[in-house]
Structure 1
Amino acid sequence: MSSRAQARGVDVGADTRPAVTVLSGFWPAVTFAAARALLAADPSLLLVRHDIREVRDGAVRRVVRTGSGVLEDERVTLVHGCGACTLREDVLPTLVRLAGAHPGRDIVLVLPEALEPEALATACAHCLVDGAPVTEAVRFDSYVTVVDAAGLMAGLTSTDDLSRRGLHAADSDHRAVADVVARQIEYADTVVLWGHSTADTFETARLAVLLDRLAPWAAHFAVVESTVDCTGLADRLRHTGRHRPETPAVLARGIEGYALGVHEPVPDCGVVSTVFRARRPFHPERLHRALGAVTAPALRSRGHLWLASQPDTVVAWEAAGAGLSMGSLGPWLAALPDDRWNDASDLRKLAAAMEWDPYYGDRHTHLVTIGVGLDAADLHRFLTACLLTDAELAAGEEAWRGWPDPFAGVLAPRSDR
């Protein structure tokens, strides 16, 4: 057991299930470089990766190898052609099968570049293999995202959809590149900055700060490929016990009482992270008019808000690459009858109780915005100006519901990706 796992009180040594280290990242070259380093440190590892370039035609290519060579190289036909189908129909069954065929050998799972690690975690929580949970056969030890220092800023500022690059997992997959890059970083419990910026050492330092602001809950490491220590990297990435499957989805963490980010309004290498919280709801038209001013300065913005015209709904918010996505995270507890409170987690009920307001209940706004050169004071002024005034607040919910609402009909329920 590693010293880091011991420090966290994680008794991974007593668990006989094979440990799975999940590697994700939008840049296959550096993700595979990290995988090769782990394999060099421990040739007995089972390295699993899927090529999903043909997934829309109902097929994927699965490769399993060790340090000694390739064990499997197969083209697999899927019943349905999509990313979720790949997880359900081949990735998870493969992990269970390998755990049974090679007991005692750990697994490194390399995700395709457009697959988000949160989707894998969701599949593990809800999908059975041969009637049993996947976690009966394997233990997911750590979710690692490997980031290419030379490509990070281009990825976070991209305005491309995955389809434009031929990376969409289904015809209905309209995800943006910037969203995928941000989500891969945010979900990770370990983030590796691989290589260095093509600009200068200051820019590389800026990237490290940016990653820390994007995922302040993760462990962060930097690797220079020309001097990579395979054994040292393996010690940092494997058998850490960092993954916590009970942690909520990133956008839901705010209502569950978890941190959504850090408030660091003073620039560090130019990077600013600012937290905006408010108990008053947003005016729908004023917020809609301000969307450009609010999202343009940001590399990433995430969280949830309270919209006056839809006072029962927790509105999810995430922005990246000049794009904005909004949806529903379900109802506020204040909007539910008492007998429905049992549907909420204990953590959510505790978080609501700690900040319960006689008038607002648990309704509130909690947004985190991260950017380079971002003026936190200006952003807060823009957002504050979109909140209801005293007179509007006094009008009450029935009046709010009748206001013109540019967001009407667009807040579809958010599903795990």
Structure 2
Amino acid sequence: MHLSVVSSLDSQCREVATARLGPTHSNSVVVLHDLLDGSLVLRRVYRDGELLERSETMLEHGCLSCTVRLDVVPTAERLAACGHDHIVLGLPPGVSVDMAVAELRRGLDRPAVIDNAVLAIDPAELEDHIWDRHTLYESGFTSMPEDERTSGEFLIGEFGHVDTVMIQPGLGAELGGGPQSGAWDHGVELCGQLAPHAAVSGVHDDFRPGCYDSGEAHARTRRGAVRVPLDAGAGTFRTVLHKVERPLHPGRFREALPQLAAGSHWLRGRLWIASAATTRIAVQGIGPRVWLEGTGQWLADAGHDPRSGTLPASDVDAALDWHPTFGDRGTVLAVTGRGEDVDPREIRGLLDGCQLSDAEMRLDFSKLEDPLGLETGL
């Protein structure tokens, strides 16, 4: 069984993307799932553009994970048993590719190959999504009041997991977006900054089938991982990468963080904070939201060394940044935003100013003030 999985916030973009994926194999079917109010799942199955099946299922607990586990997975299993070789799954808006792939691998009774993981998006709306403070529920993308993710958080997560970004006009194109608008061109460029690994495919562009690599997807989305585009600053948007060897003073970093995040579409990386010196801290900022999260010990503190040949594959970033004295300890930060809002000299100056001085390096780190609250957990 071959599967292609499509996520989106825009049902029109999703339907166009799934229709394009159907003909990539013979004997394909396309399934569109939607979670409606009242825990009602609407399922539509198409073959060669013709509607084969339309049905509704009432779930006892109508959340996105239950929709995938109790409807998407059984539907894929049933259609494969009917002899369909390739199934395109159009996920309900707000369902992540990562969740769907995990549930499919856990719940299917037969072997399955994930050919492609695709995000369908209208690029003219991308910047608005990144900066929207409303939750997915408040914006009407999901029917779950408990869903507190913003559209920007959802999309940044999808950009990391998918292998392909399919762009086409969405439901709001008639309001002034569309391929002829400046917002469209800026959105396409921003896609390349946010998902440098992914193929960005327009309606008339070639599509590269069969390129999903789950191991690579998990490596690049590991908390604190940093990947940047090769062309990081030639257009409207730029990505600034900076690395700092010494631990950061927690007080100075707290003061610098708002300035680092200001105007940033996406801030990400890992931090070595002196007041929590053995803890690898991931930082992420998406539009108006910024947060820190502890991700366990540094490899050096856990006794790992990439030179021993035992380094886990998911820690490729740490191996590339291994320092002869500090090991993988260190700060690596990438900031993506509009060129006028992301100043490389300012970012580097702010981070360099947060480093411990020679005198501070000789002090007991545990005695430093801890305004970030890292000593007691994040």
TM-score (norm 1): 0.77
Q: Contact 2:9–2:141 at 8 Å: present in 1 too?
A: no
Q: Secondary structure at the match of 1:162?
A: coil
2:190 equivalent among 202, 210, 222: 210
- Report the residue type matching 2:51 in the other structure: G
Q: Secondary structure at the match of 2:189?
A: helix
Q: Contact 1:283–1:386 at 8 Å: present in 2 too?
A: yes
- Establish whether residue 243 from structure 1 lines up as the match of residue 212 from structure 2: yes
For 1:118, the equivalent position in structure 2 comes to 98
For 1:219, the equivalent position in structure 2 comes to 199
2:111 equivalent among 120, 125, 137: 137
For 1:296, the equivalent position in structure 2 comes to 262
For 1:101, the equivalent position in structure 2 comes to 82
Distance 2:377 2:286 in 1: 18
* 1:394-405 → structure 2 map (5 Å cutoff): 394-400=362-368, 403-405=369-371
Distance 2:179 2:23 in 1: 30
Distance 2:79 2:264 in 1: 43
Distance 1:150 1:202 in 2: 8
- Report the residue type matching 2:167 in the other structure: L
For 1:272, the equivalent position in structure 2 comes to 238
Mind listing any 5+ residue stretches in structure 1 that lack a counterpart? 1-16, 413-417
2:17 equivalent among 10, 34, 37: 34
Residue range with higher mean Cα deviation, 201-210 or 139-148: 201-210
Distance 2:358 2:190 in 1: 37
- Establish whether residue 128 from structure 1 lines up as the match of residue 99 from structure 2: no
Distance 1:354 1:369 in 2: 19
* Percent of matched pairs sharing the same residue: 26
Distance 2:304 2:160 in 1: 34
Alignment deviations for residues 301-349 of structure 1 (CA, whole Å, 9 cap, x no partner) = 222222222222221222112111322222211222569xx9x863256
Residue range with higher mean Cα deviation, 58-67 or 307-316: 58-67
TM-aligned CA distance change 1:124 to 1:288, over 3 Å: farther
Distance 2:320 2:51 in 1: 56
Distance 1:199 1:101 in 2: 40
Mind listing any 5+ residue stretches in structure 2 that lack a counterpart? none
* 1:319-358 → structure 2 map (5 Å cutoff): 319-337=285-303, 346-348=312-314, 352=318, 355-358=321-324
- Give the CA deviation at 1:107: 1.0
For 1:22, the equivalent position in structure 2 comes to 5
Q: Contact 1:252–1:329 at 8 Å: present in 2 too?
A: no
For 2:278, the equivalent position in structure 1 comes to 312
Q: Contact 1:46–1:108 at 8 Å: present in 2 too?
A: yes
- Give the CA deviation at 1:62: 2.6
- Give the CA deviation at 1:190: 0.7
- Give the CA deviation at 1:187: 2.0
TM-score (norm 2): 0.84
Distance 1:184 1:392 in 2: 41
Distance 1:117 1:84 in 2: 11
Residue range with higher mean Cα deviation, 370-379 or 170-179: 170-179
- Report the residue type matching 1:366 in the other structure: V
- Establish whether residue 372 from structure 1 lines up as the match of residue 346 from structure 2: no
TM-aligned CA distance change 1:147 to 1:349, over 3 Å: closer
- Report the residue type matching 1:84 in the other structure: S
Distance 2:349 2:143 in 1: 40
